[in-house]
């Protein structure tokens, strides 16, 4: 029997697919697994490095406006569908699990035509258009946010499972995290991150208010600028009158592989509202100030952030409204009121779904899709 996982375009689609594939492989070593992604997507680089068999098809996302590019996209989609159909025929897949992204559409439609069982995993509070279209054709949809349930049409069974996070998230103690970065145990640690590519609004705003934050004797900062914004952020910090290398209590990094240690060290975070980052925050019980990426498809990051705010686990500042004074005022609410911050941390931890992967597997096993 063969199982195919598919999803791509962003890490938010790729890493859940990999986690599911790896768990199936661990539990059912006799099952053949194949990951199908796009030829040009991030998955074409990430997946082969894991050792998981990978097949690529042509895929291209649709633009919001009709144009000549729409015709090219339709041609690419048709080609991708034909490629997926041949791969599925050769692989003889019994079950296909999709995690979103435009590559998912061609694979899932081709699989439906060949009688495979179809399952979706939706990471965001506002589902992507591909998953919304595919849901009525599927045997089950697994959700990260319960809020997403009402945004699907049809009678496909829905299961709130959560989003799997990497195994080392939550593994380290606070003392281990602080020791790794050479930070003090008697100060509050602020983690700033805009993701691997960085977030310019976050970098600019936080550089502006760093002098005020570090003037406090009870605050220290881990600032991950992202590789694209590192040089600009260094310049902004210097312009603010600080050294980017020798300021006590400041650790400026362009990228961090050891994010689990940073999450363990932190008392508060500032970041975007991607589903994976939010799942990591909940797994570690880390309250946050969230700035949703304003150009995310369907504005899904704002919906993600609102779900966390509604749970009393974070505050949100919209990107267009973010200023230094507003950010400083918001952060000081957390830093000055330990009860407020700890209450938010408790609510964030309550959102954690540590059994997400096990629950996803339970759905697949209940449906007889791995036998």
Binding residues for UDP-N-acetyl-alpha-D-glucosamine: 10-12, 124, 166, 196, 301
Determine phi and psi for 365, rounding to 5 degrees: -70, -40
Distance between terminal CA atoms of the chain?
8
Cα separation, 175 vs 261, in Å, equals 10
| Tokens describing residue 178 | 């602080």
Partners of residue 119 on adjacent β-strands: 97, 140
Determine the Cα–Cα distance for residues 69 and 62; give it in Å rounded to an integer. 8
Angle at CA of residue 5, ends 2 and 285, nearest 5°: 130
Give DSSP secondary structure letters for 264-321: HH-SEEEE---HHHHHHHHHHT--EEE---TTSGGGHHHHHHHHHHHTTSEEE--GGG
**CA distance linking residue 331 with residue 336, whole number of Å:** 9
d(CA 199, CA 293) in angstroms, rounded, equals 8
Cα–Cα distance between 192 and 229 in angstroms, integer?
Answer: 13
Q: Report the binding-site residues.
A: 10-12, 124, 166, 196, 301
Q: Do residues 221 and 184 make contact, with C-beta atoms less than 8 angstroms apart?
A: no
CA 354 to CA 356: how far, in whole Å? 6
SS3 222: strand
* Distance (Å, whole) CA 224 – CA 204: 12
E strands of the chain, at which residues? 2-6, 32-38, 54-57, 93-98, 117-122, 140-143, 158-160, 188-193, 219-224, 250-253, 268-271, 288-290, 314-316
């Amino acid at each position: 029997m063969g199982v195919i996982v598919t999803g791509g375009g962003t890490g938010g689609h790729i890493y859940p697919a990999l986690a599911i594939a790896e768990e199936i492989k661990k539990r059912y070593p006799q099952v053949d697994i194949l990951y199908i992604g796009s030829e040009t997507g991030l998955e074409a680089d990430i997946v082969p490095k894991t050792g998981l068999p990978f097949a690529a098809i042509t895929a291209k996302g649709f633009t919001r406006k009709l144009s000549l590019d729409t015709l090219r996209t339709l041609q690419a989609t048709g080609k991708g569908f034909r490629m997926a159909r041949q791969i599925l025929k050769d692989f003889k897949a019994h079950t296909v699990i999709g995690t979103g992204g435009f590559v998912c559409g061609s694979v899932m439609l081709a699989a439906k035509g060949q009688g495979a069982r179809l399952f979706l995993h939706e990471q965001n509070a506002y589902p992507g258009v591909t998953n919304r279209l595919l849901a009525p054709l599927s045997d089950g949809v697994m959700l990260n946010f319960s809020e997403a349930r009402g945004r699907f049409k049809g009678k496909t069974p829905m299961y709130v499972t959560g989003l799997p996070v990497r195994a080392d998230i939550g593994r380290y103690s606070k003392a281990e995290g602080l020791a790794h970065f050479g930070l003090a145990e008697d100060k509050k640690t602020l983690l700033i991150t805009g993701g691997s590519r960085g977030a310019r609004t976050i970098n600019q705003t936080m550089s502006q208010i760093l002098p005020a934050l570090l003037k406090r004797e009870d605050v220290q900062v881990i600032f991950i600028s992202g590789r694209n914004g590192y040089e600009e952020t260094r310049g902004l910090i210097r312009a603010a009158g600080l050294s980017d290398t020798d300021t006590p209590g400041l650790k400026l990094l362009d990228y961090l592989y050891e994010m689990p240690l940073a999450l363990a060290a932190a008392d508060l975070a500032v970041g975007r509202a991607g589903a994976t980052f939010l799942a990591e925050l909940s797994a570690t019980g880390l309250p946050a100030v969230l700035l949703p990426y304003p150009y995310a498809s369907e504005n899904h990051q704002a919906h993600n952030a609102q779900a966390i705010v509604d749970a009393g686990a974070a505050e949100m500042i919209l990107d267009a409204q973010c200023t230094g004074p507003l950010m400083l005022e918001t952060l000081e609410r957390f830093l000055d009121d330990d009860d407020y911050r700890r209450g938010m941390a408790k609510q964030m931890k309550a959102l954690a779904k540590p059994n997400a992967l096990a629950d996803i597997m339970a759905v697949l096993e209940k449906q007889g899709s791995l036998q």
